Structure 1
Amino acid sequence: MRSEYSKKMPSSGGEEIGELSRKELDDANLARMGKRPVLKRNFGLMSMLGFSCTILITWEGIVVLFLQAYQNGGPAGAVYGFLFVWAGVAATFVVLAELASMAPTSGGQYHWTSMLAPRSCMKLMSYLTGWLTVIGWQATYATSCYLVGTLIQGLIVLTNSTYEPKNWHGTLLFWAIVLFCVAINSVGGKLLPRFEGMILILHILGFFAILIPLTYMADHGSSKEVFTQFLNLGEFPSQGLSFFVGIVGCIYAFAGGDAAVHMSEEITNAAIAVPTSIMLSVLINGSLGFGMLIAMLFCSGDLGSALESPTGYPFMAIFKQATGSTAGTAVMGSIITTMGATTSVGMLASTSRQFWSFSRDRGIPGWRLWSQVTEHSAVPLYSVLATSVISCLLALINIGSAVAFNDLCSMAISGLYLSYMVVGGLLLWRRCTGGISSVRSSDSAIVNTAGAKLVWGPFHLPGIWGILINTWALVYMTIAVFFSFWPPSWVVTVQTMNFSVVGTMGTIILSLFYYYVRARNVYSGPIMEHTL
């Protein structure tokens, strides 16, 4: 098959024909994993890099969430906690990149579990991993829309002191962001890739638009305070425990590393482009995020008054202390809010593609409807709408209790990281037992799916380095999941209690119940839609 397509490649010129051949090769590789190509490959490397980078938006997340690390860990804890998380995330992304290079499908984690797990438990492990990914992405998307809605409320309070924010206002703004995301995602064609490429530019320029005035105009703290002062405002029994509780904010700032994976069937040269975009995104976002964190810590000013900011977001008070201008603060805050809104567009795309793929393999109730793809736009529109309706329903929780909704958002970490742990552990087992071949099989063979031969993709860390990085990734992910369930203070009240463990375990129990009642009769792992 490869030789047949290679004959179509022009010896010189013919760029359009060459591009067509690359898409055909991607479809042929997808067929080797038993999947029929139904989505259009409109993304290239740069647009997918923009997609990956703007899903993470680490520097923006650090601005919004850095006080979580500050309160539990202090300035020094925030610095060293970020470096710890960055190193762990980089190792985790290496694991995801290796798997995405082996099997670039929209299913991601549940497909990888099915191809790596022992045959005796493949079906159940794949099913549970699929549901962990579903709840992780649903929570991530809902969190993004919620934060944007409350950021808009904060900007209104900043510019209009007579405004009294209500929880239901945030819910209405949440719904407005969802409608915006649905509008962009429903069009299809090249709109989404071009949109993501444009947002990458804003992501980079916005960093400097905030960093330069903040560092130039604000009063600076001392290096000793930033790099040596540890705090334990949560009153935990030890500083070490406080430090690990505080890193959860940094972990969330890197959430969504598998976003590009779920777009694999919409990008050309997926086996190389997806891993490349994943690794470049952690490099770019980690660098920008660390720079912004240092700037915020040096320029934080009077944090006592910032914590009491009526906007609900201390960073707005820090910006105002630095610039002395409400208008300037509003502009800086608007950049972060805009990035949050545009990030939600990409999150809806990834969430709906994973939902669609899992439905395609009959893992979700109502799979016949959710697995449909509209012909004119080649978009899984029903999955886009289902994901959006779920998020809008979740937003109703905020009207009754903002605390309960925030706990729901913590499931973004636990759900996604648990799915990473499953595939990371299986990959380590396979690489240590020699279960993955480095030799490319014939182009007519089914590979890298349930029951088929396992073959490394173009992105692969061989030997001891692959084992060490895979092991470190598992250690980091275990720490991240464990502390994502902790409350922010040792003395727990209704307001500070973290109920995310209830939501995560509850979803797992319900999915198991559905599995034994019905899903085990219809779900058997990735379905062979195409045979060679």
Structure 2
Amino acid sequence: MQESVELRDRQWDSKGASSSQSRVHDEQGLGRVGKKQILKRRFGFLSILGFSCTILASWEGALSTFTISFEDELRSGGPAGTVYSFLVVWLGTFSTFVTLSELVSMAPTSGGQYHWVSMMAPRWCQKYISFLTGWLIVIGWLGAFTSTCYLSASEIQGLVVLNHASYVAEPWQAVLLFWAIVAFAVFVNVVASTMLPKFEGFVLILHLVGFFAIIIPLLYLGEHNPASEVFGQFANEGGFPTQGLSFMVGMVGNMFAFTGADAAVHMSEEIHDAERVVPQSILTSVLINGLLGFGMTLSTLFTMTNSTAALESPTGYPYMQIFCSATKSMGGCTVMSAIVPILVTATAVGSLASSSRMVWSFARDRGLPGWRFLSKVSLFPPPFLPGASCVNAQAVPQYSILVVTVAAVLLALIILGSAAVLNDVVSLCVSALYTSYLFSAFLLMWKRCTGGIREPSDTPSDTIVNTPGAPLSWGPFRIRGALGIVVNGFSIAYLTIGVFFSFWPDEMNPTASTMNWAVVGTVGTSLISTVYYVLWAQKEYTGPVVEIDRYG
């Protein structure tokens, strides 16, 4: 018995020492880029992989944005255009996030793109470009959170229409459902914040199981279109002068389905061994979601034997009509359809977490109005509650969560007067986030080609690196040699095309209701942030604040 107790004590001591070493390593890694450890690190590889997969949610996004990615692509490119545009976007997304993985390995901070831009940009424009990038990320992630909540709310209404044909989906009901989904996301992120990693791990299981729960009955029970129609039928019903232009315009919906893989970047300061784990989780999630999304895209196209009925479904979501036509069972169709809004609601939880961390980080670096207020964190559950302690509590940026929540709640009111809100918000997400990726990728390629990034062995281990005014040093993950330049170059080309076409309407000669107003949100945000920078922020914002001078 005595030997058993001693063995147990040694095991506990070993685990405690290992945990302590990991904590010190993480704090030192963050210290090398000039930041103090404030948030607690509770995510490991599997939990952050679940977080990344459910934020990316490519197969759920492919179904949820059917009215955009499929309808526009079917009109602009046909079934074949849908298939090939998905492959192009998948390849472009993977290349882009290989590039971003190199950057997060160098500087694993919650600021992500604006931090990287600041550390690489020329001194004469470093402050402004970094400031603008930060605002684009904020508006992009706010748009992602808002659109996710809207999708889930409208899908729930679609389920009601599916089962009760007499029900008329009212905009005000969508707003109330929207607010309920926001409330759930706030509950998980604040009240149950210590359970967030386990929640994301559980949702990863649902993400995988839900895919097979839909695709197996869909393919087994549904009638199939010929392969020649799926892979060889193109269309151009948007009135564009060429099929190629029509194809490019139709890609935006698929781009939205892949938007958000940088969510893990903004959670970096809560991830163990972030400089290695974040690149691994990002790239793994892009591979997994690409396979699942492509499988769902093909399955839906093969079983959509009546495209007119699907696209004119009274539910507002063609996939629900496709499921009903395939299963010929209202119960089976309802269960399959219900999986999607459940997982989209789970995506909203992660979107709030990532967007609030971005707001908190940007406020910490004095990039937002009220930064002193927004940069505060609190412990949840509070230590004074029964059974609570500082050890078990999670440091939560509650004021940033509050601001994101209030902004989303107010944006939901647009639903009351705009039937085209989803299309515009989707395009806004793509244009804003893709622009932030583009700035980062371009500057990395410039530094890489000019030899501006050192090998890790060439930098003393106790000095600040990868922050404004400090040397640049590669992290553990990188693509070496000419291949790295090729990957960066392809990413820049893809992102440039994505940003350009994210502003296009889905038809020639659009009306006010069919116009793509994303340019107003993106350019408007850029102008407002520029005015704010000139009048006020340039006096306070200097780029990422170096909170410590040395560590070791």
TM-score bracket for this pair, using the shorter chain length: over 0.9
Does residue 419 (structure 1) correspond to residue 436 (structure 2)? The answer is yes
Map of 1:201 onto structure 2: 205
Of stretches 59-68 and 144-153 in structure 1, the one that deviates more from structure 2 is 59-68
Map of 2:481 onto structure 1: 463
Letter paired with 2:404: T
Tell me how far 1:507 sits from its aligned partner: 0.7
Aligned-residue sequence identity (percent) comes to 53
Quickly say closer, same or farther: Cα 1:352–1:260, change in 2 above 3 A: same
Map of 1:322 onto structure 2: 326
Tell me how far 1:365 sits from its aligned partner: 0.3
Q: Specify the SS of the correspondent of 2:122.
A: coil
Tell me how far 1:169 sits from its aligned partner: 1.1
Q: Specify the SS of the correspondent of 1:14.
A: helix
Letter paired with 2:184: F
Does residue 298 (structure 1) correspond to residue 302 (structure 2)? The answer is yes
Matched-pair contact (CA < 8 Å) for 1:414–1:484: yes
Map of 1:514 onto structure 2: 532
**Matching of residues 443-482 of structure 1 within 5 Å:** 443-482=461-500
Q: Under a length normalisation based on structure 1, what TM-score does the superposition of the two structures give? A: 0.96
Tell me how far 1:13 sits from its aligned partner: 7.9
Q: Distance in 2 between matches of 1:121 and 1:485?
A: 26
Does residue 251 (structure 1) correspond to residue 292 (structure 2)? The answer is no
Q: Distance in 2 between matches of 1:51 and 1:365?
A: 29
Letter paired with 2:524: G
Map of 1:19 onto structure 2: 19
Quickly say closer, same or farther: Cα 1:11–1:460, change in 2 above 3 A: farther
Q: Specify the SS of the correspondent of 1:529.
A: coil
Tell me how far 1:239 sits from its aligned partner: 0.8
Letter paired with 2:428: M
Residue number among 463, 485, 494 corresponding to 2:512 in the alignment: 494
Map of 1:36 onto structure 2: 36
CA deviation map 1:164-186 (0-9, x unaligned): 11111111111110000000000
Q: Specify the SS of the correspondent of 1:190.
A: helix
Map of 2:402 onto structure 1: 385
Map of 1:4 onto structure 2: none
Letter paired with 1:426: L
Tell me how far 1:187 sits from its aligned partner: 2.8
Q: Specify the SS of the correspondent of 1:378.
A: strand
Tell me how far 1:266 sits from its aligned partner: 0.1
Map of 1:281 onto structure 2: 285
Map of 1:231 onto structure 2: 235
Letter paired with 1:319: F
Q: Distance in 2 between matches of 1:408 and 1:325?
A: 34
Letter paired with 2:280: T
Q: How many residues align?
A: 523
Residue number among 478, 502, 515 corresponding to 1:484 in the alignment: 502
Tell me how far 1:301 sits from its aligned partner: 1.4
Matched-pair contact (CA < 8 Å) for 1:123–1:525: yes
Map of 1:101 onto structure 2: 105
Letter paired with 2:477: F
Q: Specify the SS of the correspondent of 1:173.
A: helix
Matched-pair contact (CA < 8 Å) for 1:142–1:409: no
Q: Distance in 1 between matches of 2:54 and 2:422?
A: 24
Map of 1:398 onto structure 2: 415
Q: Specify the SS of the correspondent of 2:473.
A: coil
Q: Distance in 2 between matches of 1:145 and 1:23?
A: 35
Matched-pair contact (CA < 8 Å) for 1:69–1:250: no
Map of 1:166 onto structure 2: 170
CA deviation map 1:328-387 (0-9, x unaligned): 111111101100000000000000000000000000001111100003430001101110
Tell me how far 1:406 sits from its aligned partner: 3.5
Letter paired with 2:475: G
**Matching of residues 40-439 of structure 1 within 5 Å:** 40-64=40-64, 65=66, 66-187=70-191, 190-375=194-379, 376=382, 377-404=394-421, 406-439=423-456
Tell me how far 1:405 sits from its aligned partner: 5.3
CA deviation map 1:496-521 (0-9, x unaligned): 11011011101100000000110000
Q: Distance in 1 between matches of 2:282 and 2:544?
A: 24
CA deviation map 1:47-92 (0-9, x unaligned): 0000000001001111222333222111111111111111100000
Q: Distance in 1 between matches of 2:302 and 2:416?
A: 36
Matched-pair contact (CA < 8 Å) for 1:75–1:297: yes
Q: Distance in 2 between matches of 1:161 and 1:144?
A: 25
Q: Distance in 2 between matches of 1:227 and 1:259?
A: 33
Q: Distance in 1 between matches of 2:426 and 2:12?
A: 52
Structure 1 runs (4+) greater than 4 angstroms displaced: 10-13
Q: Under a length normalisation based on structure 2, what TM-score does the superposition of the two structures give? A: 0.93
Q: Specify the SS of the correspondent of 2:290.
A: helix
Q: Distance in 1 between matches of 2:181 and 2:287?
A: 29
CA deviation map 1:458-495 (0-9, x unaligned): 00001100000000000000111111111111131122
Q: Distance in 2 between matches of 1:290 and 1:140?
A: 21
Q: Distance in 2 between matches of 1:67 and 1:17?
A: 56
Quickly say closer, same or farther: Cα 1:451–1:11, change in 2 above 3 A: farther
Of stretches 262-271 and 376-385 in structure 1, the one that deviates more from structure 2 is 376-385
CA deviation map 1:383-437 (0-9, x unaligned): 0111011011111111111224531332100000000000110000000000001
Q: Distance in 2 between matches of 1:406 and 1:220?
A: 29
Q: Distance in 2 between matches of 1:401 and 1:259?
A: 28
Of stretches 179-188 and 86-95 in structure 1, the one that deviates more from structure 2 is 179-188
Of stretches 184-193 and 102-111 in structure 1, the one that deviates more from structure 2 is 184-193
Q: Distance in 2 between matches of 1:11 and 1:458?
A: 30
Of stretches 358-367 and 226-235 in structure 1, the one that deviates more from structure 2 is 226-235
> Is there any run of 5+ residues in structure 1 with no aligned partner, and where?
1-9
Matched-pair contact (CA < 8 Å) for 2:456–2:475: no
Quickly say closer, same or farther: Cα 1:83–1:301, change in 2 above 3 A: same
CA deviation map 1:146-177 (0-9, x unaligned): 10010011001001112111111111111110
Matched-pair contact (CA < 8 Å) for 1:167–1:402: no
